[in-house]
Amino acid sequence: MAKKLHNIDTLHISEARFIGEEGRVTFVQPALEGEYLRPGRVAYDKDTHYKKLVCSHCSVRVDFNKGAGVNSGGANLRGSRPHFKTAPKQEHEKNCDLPKLNHQHSDSEIDTSIGFRIHLNADFNAPLNHGKPVYERGKGGKVVANDDRLKPVEKIIDLGQGQTKTINVYRESLVVRNVNDIVNVMRRGELERLKDSLVVNNVAVPWNRFAILGENRLRNLVHRLRNGASHPVMLKVGLYQPADGNYAESAKVFFERTEKGASFIIPRVYMDSPDAADAFPSRGEYLVLGLPKLSFNKQGGAYFLNISLKDAACVAPYFEGQILAEAKMRDERRLALAL
Ligand SMILES: [Zn+2]
């Protein structure tokens, strides 16, 4: 009977993910209105969430169960609380670490040698570049990817005696909400995987188009914005002095020389809310998360790369050497363990 206890269908799941069509993630608690919610969580709302929730660690659909509603003198009896359960006849993906179980019959796996699928859960009001959301809801409430780069790769497994089986291989998915979350991913080491990663917000962009940490990437970004691209970035900003006034201006970078002369890129971050007013208290380097917009000043030959900052969590001091040293240390430790 011990096995029965571990049946995934009977697991009470305390948190679910809601993925909006822009790829934005909300964590939902099976709490009803007025109940305690953990920080950053929202209560279950039937109108919004019915048949649209997935496991917090994989893409299986989970459904709300209001529980038995038994209340024993203020203390709810175990098992009677509202909870989430996997949808009928569906199971968690093989590498879902929620149930901590082996899914012997699963037909999917996560490839931990390739890049991540990094979900950037923040709202920058970026338009959809191709008019089509990167994720949509398919049959049975499962979330399916429209972007080919986000789709699983099929792998054929030889079972012997002429028998084969096809399994879906996915990228490992990570959810980030702010600059510190992204810095923590960088600290993990695995820099080769990071370079191979896709960052998903309203569209999916490769890491090197998202993390604008050097002058070449900055120039490439300006080329893309001139051609109509629009997506959030994490921009490295270098300040010679603390920002005073309503914006912080980074050192200008040479862009190109044409017959009309040389042009430059000047990144500017506008502190557009009281929350962000003191975002740059000292000189030094910062990482800023936001949606860049381009404006060209003909006279000065300057491309202003403007980011409107509304949330203090979208900026953090950047200690590149420290982060890289930590990443390298973790990488070496991993390598040593593998030898
Ligand atoms: Zn799961």
Distance between Cα 61 and ligand 1 center (Å): 8
The pLDDT of residue 108 is above 80: no
Residue 16 CA to ligand 1 center (angstroms) comes to 9
Which residues are within 8 A (CB) of 327 and not within 5 positions of it... i.e. 6 or more apart? Answer: 186, 187, 188, 189, 190, 191
> Measured between alpha carbons, how far is 306 from 313 in angstroms, rounded to an integer?
18
DSSP type of residue 13? B
CA of 37 to the centre of ligand 1 (A): 21
90 Cα to the center of ligand 1, angstroms: 10
> Distance from first CA to last CA of the chain, Å, rounded?
40
For the chain, give the percent of residues with pLDDT over 90: 38
Strand, coil or helix: what is 210? helix
At 306, the pLDDT band (50, 70, 90 cuts) reads very high
Banded pLDDT at 130 (limits 50, 70, 90):
low
DSSP state letters, 131-142: SS-SEEE-GGG-
Predicted pLDDT at 57: 80
pLDDT tens readout for residues 177-191: 899 999 999 998 888
Q: What is the pLDDT of residues 52-74, one digit of tens each?
A: 999 888 888 999 887 765 444 44
- Longest pairwise C-alpha distance within the chain: 82
Strands 108-111 and 117-120, sheet pairing? unpaired
Expressed in angstroms and rounded, the spacing between residue 296 Cα and the centre of ligand 1 is: 47
59 Cα: distance to centroid of ligand 1 (angstroms): 6
What is the torsional sign of CA 315, 316, 321, 323? negative
Say what the pLDDT of residue 11 is: 58
Q: What is the pLDDT of residue 8?
A: 43
Fold of the domain spanning 178-321: OB fold (Dihydrolipoamide Acetyltransferase, E2P) (2.40.50)
What's this model's pTM, rounded to 2 decimal places? 0.68
Q: Please tell me the predicted confidence (pLDDT) of residue 118.
A: 92
- Give me ligand 1 centre to Cα 86, in Å: 8
Find the 234 Cα to ligand 1 centroid distance in Å: 29
Q: Provide the pLDDT for residue 94.
A: 76
* 15 pLDDT higher than 60: yes
State the distance from the centre of ligand 1 to the C-alpha of 111, rounded, in angstroms.
Answer: 16
Distance (angstroms) between ligand 1 centre and the Cα of 82 equals 18
Residue 196 confidence (pLDDT) above 90 = yes
* The two structure tokens encoding residue 245: 């006034």
The helix/strand/coil state of 145 is strand
- C-alpha 122 – ligand 1 centre gap (Å): 23
* Chain segment 205-241, per-residue pLDDT in tens: 999 999 999 999 999 999 999 999 999 999 999 999 8
Q: Is the dihedral of CA 178, 182, 183, 184 positive or negative?
A: positive
CA–centroid distance, residue 15 to ligand 1 (Å): 11
- Would you kindly state where each structural domain of the chain is located, as residue ranges? 1-91, 178-321
User: Between 168 and 325, whose confidence is greater?
Assistant: 325
Instruction: Tell me the two tokens of residue 313.
Output: 């969590």
Q: Contacts by 333-339 with C-beta closer than 8 Å and gap 24+?
A: 334/189, 334/190
Q: How many Å lie between the centroid of ligand 1 and the Cα of residue 203?
A: 24
Closest to 81 (Cα-Cα) out of 14, 165, 163, 134: 14
How far does CA 275 lie from the centroid of its chain? 23
Q: How far is the CA of 55 from the centre of ligand 1 (A)?
A: 5
Distance (angstroms) between ligand 1 centre and the Cα of 189 equals 25
Given a cut of 90, whether residue 198 has pLDDT beyond it is yes
Structural contact between residues 139 and 208, judged by C-beta atoms closer than 8 angstroms: no
CA–centroid distance, residue 317 to ligand 1 (Å): 34
